[in-house]
Amino acid sequence: MIDFKWLNTVAAGALALSLLSTGTAKSGSLYDDLGQKPGITKVVADLVGFVADDGRIAHFFVPAFAPDLPRFEGVLVDQICYASGGPCTYTGKSMPEAHKGMNIREADFNALVEDLEKAMDKNHVPVTTQNRLLAVLAPLQDSVDEK
């Protein structure tokens, strides 16, 4: 499990190791390295499945995506696509608005990250690319965590 308090340090270390071993921080843009929109779409589909089966956090998400799963997945794909530097536009709610009153805690956020890591592993996303995406998404914790 990733401790988000230290994620930026971990991501910076991973990038530094990547620089030392390859001479470059990344092979392409994060969006490209995720497989562009088709790759992100596969990761999101697996993520949603893992979350639905995750007893720790399913109760937060199933009510949100059950009424219109394709729309929920599409908004999440666009969010990750946009955050990774892709050409998508995120049209969903702000993170504080979408999660208001849910009483999400750090452990819940970390459970979601574990499910995202499983989805990325299933789709053969390299660990360095995973770390880059997690570093981009890490600041969202403060906007959804009600401590």
Which pLDDT tens digits describe the chain residue by residue (147 residues)? Answer: 444 333 433 333 333 333 333 333 445 899 999 999 999 999 999 999 999 999 999 998 888 777 888 888 999 999 999 999 999 998 888 777 777 777 788 899 899 999 999 999 999 999 999 999 999 988 877 656 555
Q: In CATH, what number does 4-144 get? A: 1.10.490.10
User: Where are the domains positioned within the chain?
Assistant: 4-144
Tell me the whole-structure pTM to 2 decimals. Answer: 0.77
In angstroms, how far is the first alpha carbon of the chain from the final one? 18
Q: CB under 8 Å to 118, separation ≥6 — which residues?
A: 46, 50
